[in-house]
Every structure is written in C-alpha cells, then in structure tokens.
Structure 1
C-alpha cells in the first residue's frame, strides 16, 4: 500500500473531474428499502472493489484477504481490480465517479480522502462505524485522519511511517555501530551525517557506495521539520506555517547532505541505474535507506542482513503516520454489503496477515499491547530490535497533508520542492513560495 502515498497529477484535470462528481444524489437514486431487503437475502451480491497496484506482493496479499472474506460471506462475491498507482489510479476513479460508474468499494489515498468527501461522492459510514467501533480504539494518527467533522467516510486498515533501514554488512565492514532502533536514543542529525560520510566510498573520483538515500521525499522532510520544531500548517489547519527558521534548517541540512557532503545521490540516480531503493540497499550501493515501513515486505524477501532504526533527529525523534482508507461510493446499490467488506478490511483478522508479512503496521491500539504484538510479530520478517520501534510508529504524528481538503496545495509543494532540489532555488525562496501560494489556494475554499 502505498501509498497511501499517491502523487497528485494534473490538478486542473482532477479538479474538473471532482467538480463533475459534486453535489448530493437525489432521493430517487438512493437504494430503495426493497432493494436493501433484497441484498440481505441469500441471493449473491456482486461487489466491485478497486485498489492500486503498489507491488505484486501487496496485490497478492489483498487478494488473499478478499478470498477469506468471501468464504465467510458466501452471498457476497467481490471482484477486485488493481490499477497502477499514482495519477492513473486517481484519474480513473474520478472518471468513473463522474460517469456514475464507480466501484462499490475502493482504496482512497489519505491525501485525497477529504477532497473526495467534500464533493459528496462517498457513502456516509458513520452509523455503521459507531455500531461496531469506537474511534479511540484506533491509534491517534489513524483516528485523526478518518474523522471528518465527527463523521466517518473511510476506514483505514493499517498505518505506515517512514523509518530508517540499513545494511548490517556495510556497517560491519566499516566497523561502525548500528543506528539506534530506540527513538529515545536516535542519532542527532550531525551524528547521522558523520556516519554517512564514513560509509561513502570513492573509487577514482566516482562514488561507489553512498552513505544514505531517500531523504528528499517530502514525506520524510515533514518529520525532520517536525523534529526541529517546525510545522507545515498552522494549528487551525487553514493556513500554512512552513516559512520558519526551523524548517529552513531542516530543508538545508537535507540538501547539504547531497550537494555539500556528497553522502547521498540524486533521486534520479535510480532512473539511471535501473534499481529500486531496496536493491540499492541490498547490493551495498547505499548504507542507509529511509523509506516507508511498507518496504519491509519486499526487503524481507531479499535475504540480506537488514536493520531498522528511528529517523535521525534535530531536537526530538519524530515520524509521521498515514495510510489509505477504504470508502464506498455514495450511489452503491449494496450499501450493507459494501460496509461488510470495509469493516472486514479493517478487522484484526485481515490486518494481521499483512502486518506479519511486513507490509503494514496496525491501526488498532489493541495490536500494540504485549499480547497484541504476539499476533503479528514475525521473526522471519521483522528485524532484530524491531519491537523497540513499535511505540514510535504507534504514536506517530498524522501526516499533515492528509488533514486538508484542497489537494492543489500538495501539487504546489511538489513544484516548489523540485525547484529546491534540482534547480538551485534557495531555501528562503522555496519556503516563502510554498507558504504564499499555498495560503492563496487555501483561501479559495
């Protein structure tokens, strides 16, 4: 899953599509009581379920969960359609909604969730949710993301957070201590950079091994900003608060790691050498990799000695949490069956297998207790010391980008950050542009 981390594409196209989906559905289009009664009979109901293809491993895991659901609910047949992630998925879903042909249930990126809800295309799940769950059963970041003005329009199945992975062989060869997994002992930023320098190897003027990779993803920039006392948005959530000295320090430190210290490659390096980040870590081309916790599912299959640790800190150890939600189309003809599927996709039963595989982390407080951890902890997947990282993920701050409904702000951030990373735009200018452009967009609501 990632994604829960979808890239916002052509914002003009998306906004037009979203506008086409807006407005309440007339009562004449709502499922009649006769139809709903029919759906509760023994007649087989067909549900269309759409998600994104983040990786073949993830898709296989989701399909196994669906098979289990159908065994338990023989009167419900679920047809799952995985779609390539990124812009393709968002565009396809919006087009289907605009054409009144959306799937009954679908993955919805956490950063798109509020925008979709605001356009009145999601089934209100609040009554069913309150009958089965209490919001405080969920970890804080998941609860904060799901709830919109007291209502629930999408239910999460998990959480994911950026963490630091490292290749133990690379560290052993260099004779260096491993990064601390305990957030209370997390390396300072300077300690981290010093180690990255020692792990960077040159051969004839060419770097053959980099110390670290992955910090230029904005999902990683955010926790480093927060670690230094910075914020993306003001407390009211309606204005930006990014243009501060705390955030400038974090921005500049990450850029300096590549441009001045030479311990990290450009993100475009992957395109040039045709390798995934996990493969770079496995092969020793990088010593440390920061990426989402979901990467453990793939890394665990690669059979090399991997370690996991808390992110480096400026003033305090911070990570952020987010994940996709499962929502239902407001115009589904099978609201009861759609809820049954959504509820199952958030159940401990469904989560446990996928957490055990290394793909996700739990969204329920009960799965972070000593007894709860036993249900999913897998010594073949979770690295030594992983247990110490569990509270770090449980208590993660909600990704602030998931708490606004105007998705154009995320596109603005991407545009300005690209100029900062690759076009030598100064940190001061970047922060100022993001704040001024973002506030102008937020004010248009």
Structure 2
C-alpha cells in the first residue's frame, strides 16, 4: 500500500465546528475528578527549571487576564509523571490538564482519555501552528491537544576533534547538510584519525528515543505507517536502506558498541565525555553543553538522503476527557500557546516553537542564540505525515518492536531485509 501525503493532509484538515470563546466569564461544571472550584484548573507536568518557570509565568498571566480563574500547577519528576497520570486516569481523578510527549499522545487520545478540543477552540487556532505540529495532535481528524513546543535532533560536534582530523567546515544550511555518503566519508576520516577508544559519533535513539531512528527512514523518503496510523509500510526499499545505513555505524566502528537502542547509557554521555566527536541531540541540551562541556563545540545539520528528515520531538498540552471544565481548559491551552508566551518559553528553555509565526528568524535562544537557526532549519525538514505517524495510538506497542529488530540488525544477527520484514509483522501485531 502506498503512503499518500495528499490523503493525510486532506484527512486532518477537517475539524468539528469550533466555538468562539471570550477570555473571561466561564462557567465551569461542578464536582468531577478535578478541582471542586469551578474557576480552578489542575495541571500536572514535569520540566526543567526553565520550563517550570515558563509555565508559572503563563499561569500568572492567565490569572491576570482572567480575574478569578486560576491554574494549580503540580510539578513532578519525569520518572513519576506517567505512572501517576495513568493511575489517576484509572481511578477517575486525573488533573484537568497535563503535558505529554507526541509519541505518547496517540495512546491517550486513542483510548478516549483526552478531551476532543474541536468544539471549544477558536476558529483560527489551527492557523497558529505549523502543519507538522498540528498533525501531531490529531486523532481521527480532530485535535485532542495543542502543540506547545517541539524539539528535533541536529548534530552537536566537538570542534577540537573534528579539526584534529582535518575537518574544518560543517554544513551551514539544511540544504547543504551532508548526504549519507558524505557523512560516511566524514566518519571514515574521523575513524582513521581518532584513537580506538574514541568514535566519530553517537546516535540518540536510546529508550523511547528509538523514534529518532525514524528520521533516517524519512530521509530515505519512507514511512512506517500508512495514513490510518496502523498499517505497516516499513517493509520497503526505503526501510531496508535506513536499516543498512544505521547498521553500518556499528560494522564500521563509527559508534560505540553499546550505542544500541536499549543501552543504559545515553548517547550524549559519550559526547560530553569526549568519547564521541559528534552526537545527534536536541536543542534542549544547549544550556548543559554551554556550562559543562570543556571543549569548543558547535552544531550542524543532520544528514539527508532522498530528502531531509528529522524527528518531531517535544510535547503537547492536553485536557483530560474527565475534566468538568472543558471550556476553561481549552481557553487556557489557547492562552499558553499565544505568540509571546510561547516565544518566552522556548527562548529560555532552548526549545523550538510550534507556531508558524515563530519559525526561522523569529526564533532566538537565551543561550548560544547563533545555534537557533540550525535547530529551526532542522525542524523545517519534518513533514506533516512524519509527525502524524509518530502520533499513532499504537506507538507504545510499536516502540519495542523497533528496539528489538533494530538492535538485532545493529549487532549483526539479522540483515536489513529480515529486520524490516520482522518490523512489519510486529507493527501489524501491535496495531490489531
């Protein structure tokens, strides 16, 4: 079955008739699983210090704009976040609002646990966001969240290690990004120059980050799911090419042997420790790199093949289906994604905005602002259909399939053809 971009874009453009809301004067429902106060929302999230400060600032601004209406923020460690949310959903007492990664969003929406925002959003809400961001919060043609920010993987490099290997220039635009063949040449040059215990690069596909491997599949102009978000398409020439290319990282000694998808060590550790000359990384690591890296470093673009491609990371903000205050919840989600609030949040946290009017030159970072165009340019290579696939309701079952079959290919126990055939079978089982 061929993957149809046109069919996808047509399918996600139709929304339920929206209801225009004023910014004040809501009458919320009483009781229910959230706060008993009709003018108070509960919001659970994790976050860095900068992210939590951004949420608190947005909540304060919402209260000033809407006297008497408040949002109670519950900040928890990421490790506890979804164990808590799942237990609360099961018990019938979830928060009104929570934050969720795009690769997890689909599971909640598909199980009917999120509020369909279509009837509550302003008529122009969709126009705020990039097509890829809007696609990432769709379920059966309706929005079940708002895309708050994204992140994507470009390549951080150790300037000293590259220079010592004779590599003195890196691509400065997404269009000039190294092709797969050129990246292989750069890696071979580094491999020849580096000692045996250092490596050309490390890839950040550990754990649930295995979805970042899909960037290579997209670069080969492939897909792993059809527009129904369940039919596997990965058993293809593009799928085999992506597995062959990524497996060559191991067979050529370009990455540490433990740089598998199920490794207990994250790829960034090798780069920060000086073991890898380059690492695929999100912009969120810029503040840490600036304060802890003891070498000169910069950022360049991830490679391209048939086309550019990258992962659509980051998080959406959602309301639970059990909220007794759907209008107030939708109003807060619209408020927190307004231009100035999103710009402030992303600038301080080194994250990428999802609003169309904050792309390109409109994006800045507080730390290493000259790197913002690299990550913005990388994010622009994400197609809407790429983001939509990762929002599948079945991702929790697909992720372990990808991990298992990729690691077998990486470690040499199966070839690319066998890997994509097994992936297709595993995805079909996971999406039944």
**TM range, smaller chain:** 0.7 to 0.9
| Residue correspondence of structure 1 range 316-395 to structure 2 within 5 A | 316-368=307-359, 370=361, 373=362, 376-378=363-365, 380-383=367-370, 386-387=372-373, 390-395=376-381
Give the match for residue 98 of structure 1: 90
Give the whole-Å Cα distance in 1 for the aligned partners of 2:108 and 2:216.
Answer: 29
Does residue 75 (structure 1) correspond to residue 68 (structure 2)? The answer is: yes
- Residue 104 of structure 1 and its aligned partner are, at CA, apart by 1.0
Deviations 1:15-53 (A, max 9, x none): xxxxxxxxxxxxxxxxxx975499xxxx88432211234
The structure 2 residue matched to 1:111, chosen from 77, 81, 103, is 103
2:186 alignment partner, one of 195, 199, 204: 195
Task: Specify the SS of the correspondent of 2:89.
Answer: helix
For 2:9, the equivalent position in structure 1 comes to none
Equivalent residues in 2 for 1:110-149, closer than 5 Å: 110-131=102-123, 133-149=124-140
The CA deviation string for residues 157-187 of structure 1, in whole angstroms up to 9 with x for no partner, is 1122121111223223333123203111111
Secondary structure (helix, strand or coil) at the match of 1:399 reads: helix
Aligned to 2:46: 52
Q: Which piece of structure 1 moves more, 185-194 or 334-343?
A: 334-343
Q: Measured at CA, do residues 305 and 355 of structure 1 come closer, stay the same or move farther in structure 2, by a change above 3 Å?
A: farther
Extract unaligned runs of 5+ from structure 2.
1-25, 32-36
Distance change >3 Å, CA 348–CA 165, structure 1 → 2: same
Q: Which residue of 1 aligns with 2:256?
A: 265
Distance in 2, matches of 1:108 and 1:220, equals 17
- In structure 2, which of residues 146, 150, 163 is the aligned counterpart of residue 155 of structure 1? 146
> Does the CA contact (< 8 Å) of 2:215 and 2:311 recur in 1?
yes
Aligned residue in 2 for 1:183: 174
**Partner residue in 1 for 2:6:** none
TM-score if structure 1 supplies the norm length?
A: 0.78
User: Which stretch shifts more, 172-181 or 249-258?
Assistant: 172-181
Paired positions, count:
394
- How far has the Cα of 1:251 moved from its partner? 1.1
Q: CA RMSD in A?
A: 3.2
1:225–1:330 CA distance, 2 compared to 1 (3 A): closer
* Counterpart-to-counterpart distance in 1, 2:75 and 2:407: 29
Shift of 1:391: 4.0
Q: Which residue of 2 is the match for residue 84 of structure 1?
A: 77
Relative distance call for 1:389 and 1:101 in structure 2 (3 A) is closer
Mapped partners of 1:361, 1:109: distance in 2: 14
- In structure 2, the partner of 1:421 is 410
Query: Match for residue 438 of structure 1?
Result: 427
Equivalent residue number for residue 404 of structure 1: 392
CA distance in 2, matches of 1:37, 1:220: 42
Preserved contact between residue 213 and residue 286 of structure 1 (Cα < 8 Å): yes
In 2 relative to 1, CA 124–418 (structure 1 residues): closer, same or farther, beyond 3 Å? same
Q: Secondary structure at the match of 1:126?
A: coil
Paired position in structure 2 for 1:12: none
8 Å contact 1:126–1:153 — kept in the other structure?
Answer: yes
- Matched residues in 2 for 1:36 and 1:277: separation? 47
How far has the Cα of 1:290 moved from its partner? 0.4
Q: Give 1:311's match in structure 2, choosing from 287, 293, 302.
A: 302
SS in 2 for 1:323: strand
After superposition, the Cα gap between the structure-2 partners of 1:134 and 1:422, relative to the gap in structure 1 and judged at 3 Å, is same
Rounded to whole Å, the distance in 1 between the matches of 2:377 and 2:194 is: 38
Q: Which residue of structure 2 aligns with residue 226 of structure 1?
A: 218
CA 1:105–1:236 in 2, change beyond 3 Å: closer, same or farther?
Answer: closer
- Aligned-pair distance for 1:369? 5.8
In the other structure, the counterpart of 2:278 is: 288
Report deviation, 1:439: 1.7
